[in-house]
Amino acid sequence: MTDTAGTGALPVEGVSAARVLDEIRALRAADRPTHGGRLFAYVYDPGVAGLDELAQAAYAESAHVNGLDPTAFPSLLAMENALVGAAARLLGGGPGTSAPDVVGSVTSGGTESLILAVKAARDARPDLAEPRIVVPVSGHAAFAKAAHYLRVALDPVPVDPVTLRPAVADVAAAIRPETVLVVASAPSYAHGVVDPVAEIAAVAAAAGVRCHVDACFGGWTLPWLRRLGAPVPPFDFAVPGVTSISVDLHKYAYAPKGVSVLLHRDAGLRAPQFFAYADWPGYTMVNPVIASTRSGGPIAAAYATLRHLGEDGYLRLAAVTRDAVAGLADAVRAVDGLRLLAEPESTVVCFTADDPELDLFVLVDELTARGWHTQPQLAYAGLPASVHLTVTAAVAPRVAEFGPALAEATAAARAAGPVVLPPELLALAGSLTPEALTPDLIAGLAAGLGLGAGPAPDRMAAVNTLLQAAPVRLRERLLVEFVGLLQRPTW
């Protein structure tokens, strides 16, 4: 009998709902575990029983609602305004504060919020032919993407190799007459350190330039950690000169993917973020954000998540997370040869290796083999390679197991020894220009590293070692080529 259902997305004859769901579950089995506290990147899991079910139900209620027109779907407008109000209040804005006129928009994620912060700053200065933004190198890569998309020049500011923060004098020196935006992170994703926001905002204000605080990662944890007594420096609208703040609800607000909030100190600052168009025969269009048609699903799910957890819930989750961070940091300190790159001050644990016999990329693979999924970070501009752990509340029950696993994985990585790539390959990676990469060369490299169609190899140390040997522009090109190999249609 012919299997008319096949395995493609569009079978000749439709298949049953039960079978489709089974198929998706089978595909999902190859994924990293989104729940259970063993994945230290990509996912934010509070480990709260029943929360997923609530978010899914709320998502389903609004999945087909279209955010394109707030007058047609007032439910979505009401929930968006409530999310913006909650975020503003948490971040030093709203009635009775020094920033009573804060407004905002709900976007699809941190990247969209940052692109729009850059767009608003750029379009507020139509007089400038070549606008520029000043971003510490520890700022999220999405600022570079925004600069690229919007044709804004990027002025990177180095960070101190010990504090991992930019020097305020360097930020001030980078500001030029064409600068439209200065950026600070609270905290940086890579190392979890909070930039000197008050000082950066002050130099931006003195130059008459907007200052965006990227609190995509920390905006929903730092306020609770502060309430719990942690020494969190000022980073929000209480700081004069801060003109906009981004905070991702799909990170530490524990909402499903697809929700971030971009706040501006007042409506005048937000106005150039919008796009309106009436010069065509179709519907008059006004978009506060990049997307036009937008599902109400993520917004309703975020609304349900915030209302269900409430301030008391977030405070409790922050306390649990804080203790998990302390426990993980202790586990790192206990292993000979490993060193915290920064003392944890938010919800990131980031460590490096001081021992040349201990290859961090091999260690990451050994941890993966034991069911612990961490994130390797390549050496960059004088900063050593490191391992990043995003810590969420669901990690807490796992902390006691992590220490022995880390010790065991470190011993295994030492025993295995560092990755040794053929010297000619390393020399090639170090000297090749992106333009010199031919399809044959890429295919040869990919095959040698076990990359190609199909899932990525279990062990990525060789890939990371090769990328690390390459200059930044070549790293980027190799990444594009390797992911291009993965993104091929199935027939």
- Binds ligand PLP by CB under 6 A, chosen from 45, 214, 236, 481: 214
Could you say which DSSP state residue 397 is in?
A: G
- Binds ligand PLP by CB under 6 A, chosen from 217, 237, 314, 361: 217
Smallest distance from ligand PLP to CB 248, Å:
5
Nearest to 335 by CA among 414, 397, 390, 392: 414
Q: Rank residues 306 and 358 by Cβ distance to ligand PLP and give the closer one.
A: 306
Q: Rank residues 185 and 221 by Cβ distance to ligand PLP and give the closer one.
A: 185
Provide the 3-class DSSP secondary structure of residue 383.
strand
**Is 146 a binder of ligand PLP (CB under 6 A)?**
no
434-446: burial string, b at 16+ Cβ within 10 Å, e else: eeebeeeebeebb
- Binds ligand PLP by CB under 6 A, chosen from 38, 119, 122, 140: 140
Q: Rank residues 217 and 351 by Cβ distance to ligand PLP and give the closer one.
A: 217
Smallest distance from ligand PLP to CB 187, Å:
7
**Is 142 a binder of ligand PLP (CB under 6 A)?**
yes
- Binds ligand PLP by CB under 6 A, chosen from 80, 248, 365, 366: 248
Q: Rank residues 349 and 421 by Cβ distance to ligand PLP and give the closer one.
A: 349
Residue 318, sorted as left (phi over 0), alpha (psi -120 to 50) or beta, turns out to be alpha
Give CA torsion, residues 280, 282, 288, 294, to 10 deg.
-140
Smallest distance from ligand PLP to CB 55, Å:
17
Nearest to 286 by CA among 298, 295, 297, 278: 278
Helices (H), 334-438: 360-369, 399-416, 423-431
Give CA torsion, residues 276, 101, 184, 219, to 10 deg.
-100
Site for ligand PLP in 70-99 (CB under 6 A): none
**Is 110 a binder of ligand PLP (CB under 6 A)?**
yes
Task: Choose the stretch contacting ligand PLP; rule: CB under 6 A; options: 105-113, 170-178, 290-298, 379-387.
Answer: 105-113
Decide if 432 contacts 474 (C-beta within 8 A): yes
Decide if 366 contacts 349 (C-beta within 8 A): no
Site for ligand PLP in 300-359 (CB under 6 A): none
Smallest distance from ligand PLP to CB 217, Å:
4
Provide the 3-class DSSP secondary structure of residue 444.
helix
What are the structure tokens assigned to 214, written together?
A: 């990227």
- Binds ligand PLP by CB under 6 A, chosen from 216, 329, 350, 474: 216
Site for ligand PLP in 372-411 (CB under 6 A): none
List of residues contacting ligand PLP (CB under 6 A)? 109-111, 114, 140, 142, 185, 189, 214, 216-217, 248
